Amino acid sequence: MKSETQHYEKLRRNIVGILAVVALAPVLLLAAVNYAEFQASFTAETQAPFVSMVGKGKNSFELFLAERSSTVSLIASAYSFEELSTPQTLRHIFQAMQSEFTGFTDVAVISDEGILVAYAGPGQHLQKELMGKDYSQQEWFHKVQAQNRYVSEVIEGYRQYPHVLIAVQRHSPDGRSWVVRAAIDTTPFSRLVADMSLEPGSDAFLVNRSGVLQTDSVNYGKTLGQFPLAVPPPSYEASITKALDEQGNAILMAYSYLRNADYVLIATKPARNMLQSWLLLRTDILLIFLGGALCIYYVAAKSVDKLISRLRESDLKRDQAFSQMEHAQKLSSIGRMAAGVAHEINNPLAIINEKAGLMHDLLSLAEDFPRKEQFLRQIEAIHSAVARCRDITHRMLGFARRMEVKIESLDINEMLEETLLFFKKEAQHRNVRIVEELEPALPKIRGDRGQLQQVILNVLNNALAAVGENGQVSISTMQKDTNTIAMCIKDNGCGMSEETKQHIFEPFYTTKGNEGTGLGMSIIYGIIQRHHGEIAVESELGKGTLLTICLPISNTLQEEQA
């Protein structure tokens, strides 16, 4: 029984497993593909505007610087060294520069030996000090000589405000060269940053290649402060990377190197902002997937449960049908054999009976036979033994349906009452209580009176034998459904062991030794079968037995047979 349960449980697990895998695999695949696609497109969609904003900002910065350095370049090539070194002319030029472009704060001309020869700007009073200043050892001067054009990092210098130097070297056809250097104020930088129209929480600024801030930053300090994070690797296209800020929060960093100056434009924003909506979507996807998976599992488990219990039921029914068939076959073959044996035995029995009768007659006539009385007693014993044998063979033949059948309308209650009369005396004598609960409106059924009487007789016989002294036997009848009545005989007697229960319907099976014939129950079984009824036994050793016999009310098939 246990291994059978395990078998069904295993079957159930396997089917549910296979169903779940087969149904879930495509869903899982779909969810994974969706997840990856969504993530990719989401990231692209949300990051793209940020990157392109930095690209545009970088272009503005480049344009700003390009315009200014072209102006300086134009001045360097449009005028001769002599003209430029004349303070009057230079002042004139400077005024023109200021009126055309914002941001120029001074302009100076430096000879190719690195000596300042002319200066125009707000610090006119510095003119004297500056004149003749030697720049030949300064780095920017070397750079402009090497590259012809140079844009410095943001410096404060003696002017005490952040500015950028733009220097251009000019070679005249006669082999001379000079440098025009202009300073521009970096306040327009913050305007350019503002023009990038940042979202709240984000930040944009310029740094030089070593991370010194070239403009003010909201989160990382003022101009010339140090940007605390690593400067991303060179890229002249706007790109994006992820980084951790000083507090360990993930940030997105879009950046681009400027082509015409050693600046990097960086924009940052917390990754959380961007990820939040993605995370929401991801939770949705996960929830939908999990919900779907649960539904699939639930439905699979439920339907498989149903399937398995049906399978189990039908297996059980099949087994029962098999054992019933087996049983019926066994009974019928034993019955046939028994009938044959009974038939064969009846003849010798008749002879024995006849011979014993003859002996009796002869003895009765002989007056001087010694021990006549003793012999007559023995012959009497032979007679009663023969009668007993005949009784048995008669029953055996009954069991094998060798008796005539007559179908009529029968009142089971009446038959019960009638049969009980035989038992009342014995019951009283042994102090056995007989309880009757007969349904008064019990419909009549069609059947063979003799046979059904035998059933009742055998059942009551067994019940009474089981209870012994001071027991109780209850008999009840009821209508079970429109075409079935039931008769229950319950006793509180010795009950049956499992072994006995399995064999009670077999002919000659008895637990009563010589007292029993073992034919009662098998006869009952045959009769009930023939009446298209059912018989059920519930019994527990030491507690008692309940025998339920169901019989159909209208029994058309039976009448045809009869």
Q: Is 223 an interacting residue with respect to ligand ADP (CB under 6 A)? A: no
Answer for which of 511, 541, 548, 553 binds ligand ADP (CB under 6 A) is 511
SS3 303: helix
Instruction: At 342, list the tokens.
Output: 């009974």
CA separation (Å) from 139 to 114, 136, 210, 533? Answer: 11, 8, 17, 120
Which residue's Cβ has the minimum distance to Mg ion? 520
Q: Is 188 an interacting residue with respect to ligand ADP (CB under 6 A)? A: no
Answer for which of 165, 496, 535, 551 binds ligand ADP (CB under 6 A) is 496
Whole-number Å distance between alpha carbons of 335 and 339 = 6
SS3 493: coil
Whole-number Å distance between alpha carbons of 178 and 79 = 11
Q: Is 462 an interacting residue with respect to ligand ADP (CB under 6 A)? A: yes
Least CB distance to ligand ADP at residue 550 (A): 18
Nearest to 444 by CA among 477, 421, 401, 403: 477
Q: Is 432 an interacting residue with respect to ligand ADP (CB under 6 A)? A: no
* Residue 517 site contact among ligand ADP, Mg ion, none (CB < 5 to 8 Å, cut-off depends on kind): ligand ADP
Answer for which of 55, 87, 114, 516 binds ligand ADP (CB under 6 A) is 516
Q: Measured from the CB atom, is 73 or 545 closer to ligand ADP?
A: 545
* Residue 509 site contact among Mg ion, ligand ADP, none (CB < 5 to 8 Å, cut-off depends on kind): ligand ADP
Least CB distance to ligand ADP at residue 553 (A): 26
* Residue 463 site contact among Mg ion, ligand ADP, none (CB < 5 to 8 Å, cut-off depends on kind): ligand ADP
Q: Residue 2: what residue type? A: K
Whole-number Å distance between alpha carbons of 178 and 360 = 171
Whole-number Å distance between alpha carbons of 2 and 199 = 70
Binding positions for ligand ADP, 288-327, rule CB under 6 A: none
Q: Measured from the CB atom, is 353 or 461 closer to ligand ADP?
A: 461
Q: Is 466 an interacting residue with respect to ligand ADP (CB under 6 A)? A: yes
Q: Is 500 an interacting residue with respect to ligand ADP (CB under 6 A)? A: yes
Least CB distance to ligand ADP at residue 427 (A): 14
Task: Point out which span in 229-237, 269-277, 281-289, 510-518 binds ligand ADP (CB under 6 A).
Answer: 510-518
Q: Measured from the CB atom, is 213 or 504 closer to ligand ADP?
A: 504
Question: b or e along 358-374 (b: 16 or more beta carbons within 10 Å of the residue's beta carbon)?
Answer: eebeebeeeeeeeeeee
For the chain, the residue count is: 562
Task: Point out which span in 157-165, 353-361, 394-402, 460-468 binds ligand ADP (CB under 6 A).
Answer: 460-468
Sign of the torsion formed by the C-alpha atoms of 53, 59, 62 and 66: negative
Nearest to 487 by CA among 497, 474, 476: 476
Site of interaction with Mg ion (CB under 5 A): 462, 520
Task: Point out which span in 28-36, 287-295, 443-451, 487-495 binds ligand ADP (CB under 6 A).
Answer: 487-495
Whole-number Å distance between alpha carbons of 302 and 52 = 55
Q: Is 520 an interacting residue with respect to ligand ADP (CB under 6 A)? A: yes
Q: With contact defined as beta carbons under 8 Å apart, do 117 and 110 qualify?
A: yes
Task: Point out which span in 107-115, 149-157, 426-434, 489-497 binds ligand ADP (CB under 6 A).
Answer: 489-497
Rg of the chain's alpha carbons, rounded to an integer? Answer: 60
Q: Is 521 an interacting residue with respect to ligand ADP (CB under 6 A)? A: yes
Helices then strands, counting H and E runs in the chain, come out as 13, 16
Least CB distance to Mg ion at residue 516 (A): 6
What does the H/E/C string look like for 86-144?
CHHHHHHHHHHHHHHCCCEEEEEEEECCCEEEEEECCCHHHHHHHCCCECCCCHHHHHH
Binding positions for ligand ADP, 526-545, rule CB under 6 A: 545
Q: Is 518 an interacting residue with respect to ligand ADP (CB under 6 A)? A: yes
Least CB distance to ligand ADP at residue 336 (A): 18
HSE, CB side, 13 Å, CA atoms: give it for residue 364: 8
